[in-house]
Structure 1
Amino acid sequence: MKKKLLTIVFCMLQLAVFAQLSARDILKQKTEKDLQTIMATSPSLSGLMAVDLSSGESISINENVVFTQASAIKIPILMEVYKQAHEKKFALTDIKPLLPSNTVAGSGILNVMVDPVNLSIRNLCVLMIGLSDNSATNTLIELVGMKNVTNTMQSLGFSNTRLQRKMIDQPASLRNEENISTPAEAVRIMKLLYEGKFIDKSTSDEILSILMNNPVANSKIADGISANVKIAFKPGGMGGVSTEWAIVYLSNRPYAITIMENYKTSATPSNIISALSKRVFDYFSMMKATKYGVLIEN
């Protein structure tokens, strides 16, 4: 009898707590549960964080887990280039030759150029992001210094965001010298750029403009959002790893989102990032509604 009474009291308390939740609280709980369900369809490890850039509301799962970043680490490299240019260590218009020591395979086009390649630092940045060119990336890493990229990230409070090797360096990878970050830190980096707080608004905006000129076909996050919504992003991928950092310019509800996967195998579904992105996009789209759920298009 006593056990039955305790069960009734517990259920009543649960109902009382549930009754105090707002409709938006319930929608957020549902969204988080759905995201967990999507992740559970994969044997791999996934992490996600999304932050509403208007309200500061966030959704996160495994947000503090450290993931290998593949080409997404090129965003911190780009930031370091612009930082040193701002410090007058060089001009973005300066010309840099492509050296054989920095020419590697993988994504990009510079590695197949036959004649000597001499490009401005700004154009190397555009190639590093737009075509994810690894040879351009290695040239820029040599220019700014690998440790300086990590030091700048740490000075900004991103202690788990580290550049530890050049692109396509398998021996370094085997030594676990990977380029790393977490969903939480990557989102904060994107938020910093969106708010114009990296160096100054002009610099932050120029970095974002380079990210916005990426071909949308390369974005798995873009697969989960409406075609008319702009996105600034950089994906990354290598054996067992997929990552993407992005700002989704949803009208009146822009948000930063980072999604990361590792330990991927042939059994890992190819649409995890897209599916997670769609669920987050649907949630923030619903948050554009009034308190009582009336969606007014604008």
Structure 2
Amino acid sequence: MRALTLAYVLIVCGTLLNAEVRRSGSGEAATRTSFLNSAVQRSEPELLTKPAELAGRFSRRLDEVASSVDGSVAYLVVDVTSGQRFARRADEPFPTASAIKIGILYELFVQVDAGREVLDDPKPLPEASRAGGSGIINRLRSPVLSLRDHALLMILLSDNTSTNVLIDTLGMDAINAHMQALGTSGYRLRRRMMDSAAAARGDENVASASDLVTVMDAIRTGRGLRPESQAEAIRILREYGPTSVRAGIPADVPVATKPGGLDGVRSEVSWVDVKGRPYLLCVMTSFLADDQAGEKAITEISRTSYQYFSRLSRAGVEGRLLAR
């Protein structure tokens, strides 16, 4: 279609130029013909570079937001459709805070699928698993919950006690080994939740933005999971309430996400299922002078990413934006 359009333009313009030749002489006409040919030759590359220009602006805006934060910032945004990556320090380990829990969720369903654990077998809460901080289970006297219930509470309320139940049940070494087999290079679950002594020793839970995106993508695609386990893991990750990533995205867009926060640390890994142009996003921060500034940066990176991918999802031929 584009070739036919260009041919038509050349025919029309050629006719006009021939008329001009008769009026002004061959020298001036030759100059005009040369100009026309150069303009046509430029138009095709310009059309092809429009998406690249858009991606360049998007990349620069991500860096502007990250550079404005008084602290360390890493991010990774992956276009699921094209595979294009927009990254800043994406392979460096950062403290994860509760974002580490996405790997625990994945390992739970791996072990359930292998028959090593039962998802819906209610058990009394082991006293050794109790932990303070976020969550509600530690406030209950004698809860009896299944592993599915603990998984939901671990993600929905970032419940530290439920997280410890799952770590103790699945095994820290098994979780880390499976993360390595999945392809992560820096994912390290080194301590149970609220183990301040381990944190003081330097045994912090860490991962890179690339690591957390790898785990989220395994859940998104169902890698290593039965379909029913994949569906349940996605359902749980979509249950989470308001987060920094969700604050930058319209409420009707499905988002599977896990945020985390500690003093000086904010992180979040997400799969944003924009119709026709889904993407994966992870932002990690540390050494924050202002924790709220870290949260605002995650929201702005999320908003910028949504605007970019939602525009791509609507783009037709040569960038016309179509109604969804």
Structure 1: where are the runs of 5+ without partners? Answer: 1-17
Task: Say whether 1:276 aligns with 2:284.
Answer: no
Q: Which amino acid aligns with 1:279?
A: T
* Aligned ranges 1:1-298 → 2 under 5 Å: 22-114=49-141, 116-215=142-241, 217=242, 219-266=243-290, 269=293, 270-288=295-313, 289-298=315-324
Rg comparison, structure with higher value: 2
Q: Whole-Å Cα distance in 1 between the matches of residues 224 and 280 of structure 2? A: 15
Deviation by residue 1:254-292 (Cα, 9 ceiling, x = unmatched): 111111111112386241100111111111112121242
Question: Is the 8 Å Cα contact of residues 42 and 268 (structure 1) preserved in structure 2?
Answer: no
Q: Which amino acid aligns with 2:296?
A: N
Q: Whole-Å Cα distance in 2 between the matches of residues 146 and 117 of structure 1? A: 23
Shift of 1:83: 1.2
Give the 4+ runs in structure 1 shifted more than 6 A. 18-21
2:275 is paired with a residue whose SS is coil
2:310 is paired with a residue whose SS is helix
Q: Whole-Å Cα distance in 2 between the matches of residues 49 and 39 of structure 1? A: 12
Q: Which amino acid aligns with 2:305?
A: V
Q: Whole-Å Cα distance in 1 between the matches of residues 96 and 176 of structure 2? A: 14
Structure 2: where are the runs of 5+ without partners? Answer: 1-44
Aligned CA distance change for structure 1 residues 291 and 48 (closer, same or farther; 3 Å): farther
Q: Whole-Å Cα distance in 2 between the matches of residues 256 and 201 of structure 1? A: 20
Aligned CA distance change for structure 1 residues 96 and 166 (closer, same or farther; 3 Å): same
Q: Which amino acid aligns with 1:191?
A: D
1:42 is paired with a residue whose SS is coil
Counterpart of 1:5 in structure 2 is none
Over the matched positions of the two proteins, sequence identity in percent amounts to 32
Shift of 1:199: 2.3
Q: Whole-Å Cα distance in 2 between the matches of residues 287 and 132 of structure 1? A: 33
Count of residue pairs the alignment pairs up: 279
The two structures have a TM-score, normalised by structure 2, of 0.82
Question: Is the 8 Å Cα contact of residues 72 and 243 (structure 1) preserved in structure 2?
Answer: yes
Q: Whole-Å Cα distance in 2 between the matches of residues 29 and 259 of structure 1? A: 19
Q: Whole-Å Cα distance in 2 between the matches of residues 267 and 174 of structure 1? A: 21
Question: Is the 8 Å Cα contact of residues 76 and 209 (structure 2) preserved in structure 1?
Answer: yes
Shift of 1:135: 0.4
The two structures have a TM-score, normalised by structure 1, of 0.89
Q: Which amino acid aligns with 2:257?
A: F
Q: Whole-Å Cα distance in 2 between the matches of residues 127 and 165 of structure 1? A: 19
Question: Is the 8 Å Cα contact of residues 53 and 191 (structure 1) preserved in structure 2?
Answer: no
